[in-house]
Structure 1
Amino acid sequence: MDRIHYEELRRSLPGETAVRALVLAAGFGTRLVPLTLFRAKPAIPFLERPLIQYSLEMLRRAGIVDVVVNLHHLPETVRQAVGNTFPGVRYSFEPEILGTAGAMVKVREFLRDDHFVLCNGKIYFEENLAAVLSFHRESGALATLVLVPSDQNPGFNPVFVSPDREV
């Protein structure tokens, strides 16, 4: 993508303000050992591309180009996976892993008080993020979660949703 299109992307967002994003990429990827012994989970190829590129592409399609990626485990492998394909991506290195909330606190000046997207850099996820952002703004909610139903993950805590789509 040419950097010339940066302002055009920012203006194309639904709503009033530009949205920024934090992509989580600092984890150890313990469930994928031995694959994660030499590269971070977001840098592992899936369908011939590193996983993190799918998250960054989803953000870009929604017009989100102000992005920071948090790093900890094998950070250079994540930087290489992002490469020059996504110009302007910033990085936030965590000498000690901070967790999700800690990662957000560390980049709070970048995120400001505006709407922001928090997404994972280690999953393949297809969603119309622009539509999600529009839904979020129209709902007036403090936060919006995109959830995927699954019976395949007994190790994770369930999320209960009301018929009105409230968590």
Structure 2
Amino acid sequence: MTATLAILAGGRGTRLGPLLCDLPKPMLPVAGRPFLEYLVEWAGRFGIDDIVLCVGFRAEKIRAHFGNGGGRIRYSAEREPLGTAGALRLALPLVRTDPFLAMNGDSFCPVELDALLRKHRDRRAAATLAVVETEDRSRFGSVEVGTGGDVLGFREKGAGAGRGWINGGVYALGKNVLERVAEGSSASIERDVFPGLVGRGLCAFGTPGPLVDIGTPESLEAAHGVVPGLLRRRSGP
């Protein structure tokens, strides 16, 4: 498939203890490999050969490991933390397709990327976010989804209980969505961009998940037994 994929890889594992906090969070080892390798490999299963890594903290470790990925990988480096939307805005000049794909670098949701992009185009959406159904949405910030697949709103963590949809951290985006973010400013796509698109072309793409994150020692430990098996869901483009 033809699409640029931007991966947000500038985070720091501040909650993971002194032995790991010196690594960029996406480079934390999971089952013997840097976590970011799994995301790059998942993209390759869909034939994506244009990846922009949005790097920041200890960017040199990511560059040293991946290089140019055989011509597949380029880099957008922030000098200071810009948040998810700010980092994507900085990377926008490197994005070759419109729409493009984006994903968090510290979580893995095995989304069918081709189907996500197809729905985004078919709906002529401004942005489409992958959402995962969970048994207890109170543990997360949740996404309110209408019967037609439109995003109706967002709920903060702890608001509401029971089954519901949560943000999977994988998006299809029109470039104009990020062009509205002031260049060089710090902004969150989840808090500062998506809420303003409700009722203006913000769509949801349901996926069975699971959503695996590596933000805490407990979730990092659990990821070792889950992530490698997720890659076996899809063998190639």
Q: TM-score, normalised by structure 1?
A: 0.78
**2:84 aligned partner:** 100
Structure 1: runs of 5+ lacking an equivalent: 1-12
State the alpha-carbon separation in 2 of the partners of residues 45 and 86 from structure 1.
22
After the TM superposition, which parts of structure 1 deviate over 4 Å for at least 4 consecutive aligned residues? 83-86
Q: Which amino acid aligns with 1:149?
A: E
Report what 1:127 is aligned to: 111
Give the 3-state SS of the residue equivalent to 2:41 in structure 1: helix
AA partner of residue 53 (structure 1): E
Percent identical across equivalent pairs? Answer: 37
Cα contact 1:41–1:122 (8 A) shared by 2: yes
SS at match of 1:30: coil
Identify the structure with bigger relative contact order (alpha carbons < 8 Å, sequence gap 6+): 1
Tell me the distance in 2 between the aligned counterparts of 1:33 and 1:158. Answer: 28
Higher strand share: 2
* Farther off after superposition, 72-81 or 115-124: 72-81
- 1:7 is matched with which residue? none
CA RMSD for the aligned pairs? 2.2
Give the corresponding residue for 1:75.
Answer: 59
The structure-2 alpha-carbon separation of the partners of 1:86 and 1:47, relative to structure 1 and needing over 3 Å to count, comes to: farther
Q: Determine the structure 1 residue equivalent to 2:46.
A: 62
For these two proteins, the number of residue pairs brought into alignment is: 150
Alpha-carbon distance, 1:165 to partner: 1.7
Alpha carbons 1:55, 1:120 under 8 Å: kept: no
2:67–2:73 CA contact under 8 A, matched in 1: no
Deviations 1:107-157 (A, max 9, x none): 221225611001112223212211222222222222110012333773x42
